[in-house]
């Protein structure tokens, strides 16, 4: 008898089927990874086990936790099990913690709901659990608040809450997606150790196959609410029986064929000793503001025709630098030059048109009330020679077909497109003025792997057609490796390494670069005939 047995679980909201006949099981001490792209129903499966589905959802099928049929329990009985028998870790640790409660209180809360421990006993227990997840009370006092911790530390608190009562089953829904790669590695190690130690079952939901490969005992691949493939990790990775699994793997390790960079190189953008400070809160009423140096003496040159990557973890200053280059924020020191001419914060229309940007969030980067045509011609706003009438229509049609959309799409609203299509629209908007430089600010980070692969191909195609020069800002090393010629590594506001992609990835010089590369989960290279290679790290 396994620990968790889901059989024939179907779920619909209104007329919309969400899950179809999902069957899976987890044994005690086993790590099961549920993977798939957005909309595959993996989170809904987890919520169904917790019985935390939206009220309108209708379920059929059975969910057994050991001998108990969870679907048949009353809400009160279910409340007694949540937190005690089943723990859950969510994706975004900031929203999973109550910002006005101390971390100690939040861990104690779980303990006190389910046991009759006194406050003092619960406090001791909370300290013990927090120590176990790597937050010893002598360094992380119980009376700290979530905002005083980093993202990874917050996720440790969430894990502490979930495992405080040694649940039989832990469900982790994208537990590391919101974290930096070095933090991700630590959290995954922690989860793995906890499973080995306590013998609980772990159901980890993730879209990242590299994470799956390094962690899970067994894999379930889901698509459109159905399980399409299941089996031991090694076997699924090696055989990839279902075409969808194969597609996922190929997309995850997608190689982009970037055309060779143009030879004649003149400097396009020069950043010289850029400095950006932010004032921090006054320590007390009459004190001066402190300051936080987000960008510290950064210098680099981007040549015409070059594809430059900028990688670093959150808070390293890469977004601030991007905004300064775009003229959205001023610099306290240093200067920016475009084609040898100094750029002030007040840009001329020509300077604005020469530089365009693609943002991360395909849902937030468009005014929902404007049509595509109006959205993508926005960069012409300040142009003296903005095309009009027939010319403008041709231009819109041309740029839409360049990015793989149809000219008719110009009359649609952004909500009529999928995330990947919207990112294409964002690229169209950046492309329409034929800029000299495009900034991609985490432009593929919010996309599913298959969509991401297609967008990367699109960028390579556009390079071929238009010889783009761009600065590609990303936290994802594997993407930068595919799409850039040269890479800058940024840490704490400074550029610590600068070199050709091949060289930096093969022989990183700086210790931070080495750490980043070591922490990034790698999808083992395996094919059906080669089954010795790539034992999960």
Partner 1 sequence: MSSATDIPPNQKARAMSRSLILGGMLAGIMLILALVSFVWTPFDHAVMNIPDKMQPPNAVHWLGTDHFGRDILSMVMVGARTSLAVACLSVGIGMSLGVPLGLAAAAMRGSWLDEMIMRGNDLVFAFPSLVIAILITAVFGPSAANAIIAIGIFNIPVFARVARGGSLSLWAREFILAARVAGKSRARISVEHILPNISNLLIVQGTIQFSLGILAEASLSYIGLGAQPPTPSWGRMLAEAQTMVSLAPHLAIVPGLAIILTVVGLNLLGDGLRDRFDPRLLEGRA
**Contacting positions for partner 1 (CB under 8 A):** 326-328, 347, 349, 352, 355-357, 359-361, 363-369, 378-382, 413-415, 429
Return the number of the residue (128 or 352) whose C-beta is nearest partner 1: 352
Shortest distance (Å) from residue 79 CB to partner 1: 26
User: Least Å distance between CB 222 and partner 1?
Assistant: 23
Containing H/E element for 312?
Answer: none
- Phi, psi at residue 290, to the nearest 5°? -80, 180
What's the closest the beta carbon of residue 364 comes to partner 1, in angstroms?
Answer: 5
- CA 498 to the chain's CA centroid: 24
Minimum CB distance to partner 1, residue 378 (Å): 5
Instruction: List the Cα angle 528/531/535 in 5-degree steps.
Output: 130
Measured CA to CA, the distance from residue 41 to residue 20 in angstroms comes to 9
Closest CB to partner 1 among residues 91, 491: 91
Q: Judged by CB, which is closer to partner 1: 293, or 352?
A: 352
Beta pairing class for 86-89 and 169-173: parallel
Decide whether 249 or 359 has the Cβ nearer to partner 1: 359
> Least distance from C-beta 26 to partner 1, angstroms?
32
CB closer to partner 1, 35 vs 360:
360
Give first-to-last CA distance, the chain, whole Å. 29
Least separation in angstroms between residue 214's CB and partner 1 is 33
The alpha-carbon radius of gyration of the chain (Å, integer) is: 25
Please report how close the Cβ of residue 116 comes to partner 1 at its closest, in angstroms.
39
- Indicate the residue among 234 and 355 with the shorter CB distance to partner 1: 355
Print burial letters for 248-279: b (CB count within 10 Å at least 16), e (below 16): bbebbbbebebeebeeeeeebbbbeebbbbee
Please state, in angstroms and rounded to a whole number, the distance separating the CA atoms of residues 96 and 150: 14
| DSSP strands (E only) in 404-477 | 437-441, 470-474
CB of 348 to partner 1, least distance (A): 9
317 vs 379, beta carbon nearer partner 1: 379
Nearest residue (CB) to partner 1, 194 versus 432 = 432
At its nearest, how many Å lie between partner 1 and the CB of residue 414?
Answer: 8
Q: Which two tokens stand for residue 521?
A: 């989960």
DSSP state of 92: -
| DSSP designation for 421 | H
Residue 134 or 327 with smaller CB distance to partner 1: 327
Tokens read off for 54: 């939206």
| Contact call for residues 306 and 485 (beta carbons, < 8 A) | yes
We find the least distance from the C-beta atom of residue 190 to partner 1, in angstroms, to be 33
Query: What does residue 376 show for φ and ψ, rounded to 5 degrees?
Result: -80, -15
In the numeric block, the tokens 């790590």 are attached to 31
Return left, alpha or beta for 198; rule: phi > 0 is left, psi -120 to 50 is alpha, else beta: alpha
Distance CA 157, CA 149 (A): 10
Residue number with CB closer to partner 1 (107 or 443): 443
Contact 187, 152 (CB under 8 A): yes
């Amino acid at each position: 008898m396994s620990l968790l047995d889901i059989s024939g679980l179907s779920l619909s909201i209104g007329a919309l089927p969400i899950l179809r006949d999902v069957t899976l099981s987890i044994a005690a001490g086993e790590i099961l990874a549920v993977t798939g792209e957005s909309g595959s129903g993996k989170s809904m499966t987890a919520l169904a086990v917790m019985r935390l589905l939206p009220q309108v959802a209708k379920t059929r099928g059975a969910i057994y936790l050991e001998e108990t049929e969870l679907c048949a329990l009353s809400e009160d009985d279910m409340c007694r099990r949540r937190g005690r028998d089943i723990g859950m870790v969510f994706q975004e640790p900031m929203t999973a913690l109550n910002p006005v409660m101390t971390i100690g209180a939040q861990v104690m809360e779980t303990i006190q709901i389910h046991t009759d421990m006194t406050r003092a006993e619960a406090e001791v227990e909370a300290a013990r659990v927090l120590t176990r997840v790597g937050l010893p009370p002598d360094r992380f006092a119980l009376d700290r608040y979530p905002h005083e911790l980093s993202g990874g530390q917050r996720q440790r608190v969430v894990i502490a809450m979930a495992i405080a009562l040694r649940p039989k089953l832990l469900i982790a829904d994208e537990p590391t997606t919101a974290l930096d790669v070095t933090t991700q590695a630590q959290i995954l190690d922690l989860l793995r150790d906890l499973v080995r130690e306590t013998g609980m079952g772990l159901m980890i939901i993730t879209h990242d196959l590299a994470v799956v490969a390094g962690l899970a005992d067994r894999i379930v691949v889901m698509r459109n609410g159905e399980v399409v493939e299941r089996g031991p990790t090694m076997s699924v990775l090696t055989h990839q029986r279902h075409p969808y699994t194969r597609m996922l793997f190929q997309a995850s390790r997608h190689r982009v064929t970037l055309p060779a960079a143009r030879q004649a190189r003149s400097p396009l953008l020069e950043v010289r000793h850029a400095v950006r400070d932010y004032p921090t809160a006054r320590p007390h009423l009459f004190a001066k503001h402190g300051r936080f140096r987000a960008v510290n003496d950064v210098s680099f040159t981007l040549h015409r025709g070059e594809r430059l990557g900028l990688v670093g973890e959150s808070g390293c200053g890469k977004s601030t630098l991007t905004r300064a280059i775009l003229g959205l924020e001023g610099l306290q020191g240093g200067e920016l030059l475009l084609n040898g001419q100094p750029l002030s914060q007040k840009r001329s229309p020509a300077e604005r048109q020469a530089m365009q940007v693609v943002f991360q969030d395909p849902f937030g980067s468009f005014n929902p009330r404007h049509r595509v045509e109006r959205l993508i011609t926005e960069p012409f706003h300040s142009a003296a020679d903005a095309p009009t009438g027939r010319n403008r229509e041709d231009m819109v049609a041309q740029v839409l077909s360049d990015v793989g959309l149809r000219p008719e799409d110009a009359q649609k609203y952004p909500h009529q497109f999928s995330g990947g299509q919207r990112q294409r629209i964002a690229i169209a908007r950046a492309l329409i003025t034929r800029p000299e430089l495009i900034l991609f600010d985490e432009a593929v980070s919010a996309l599913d792997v298959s969509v991401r692969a297609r967008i990367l191909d699109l960028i390579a195609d556009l390079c071929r057609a238009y010889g783009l020069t761009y600065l590609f800002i990303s936290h994802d090393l594997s993407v930068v490796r595919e799409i850039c010629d040269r890479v800058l590594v940024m840490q704490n506001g400074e550029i610590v390494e600068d070199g050709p992609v091949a060289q930096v990835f093969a022989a990183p010089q700086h210790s931070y670069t080495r750490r980043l590369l070591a922490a990034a989960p790698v999808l083992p290279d395996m094919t059906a005939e080669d089954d010795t290679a790539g034992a999960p790290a």
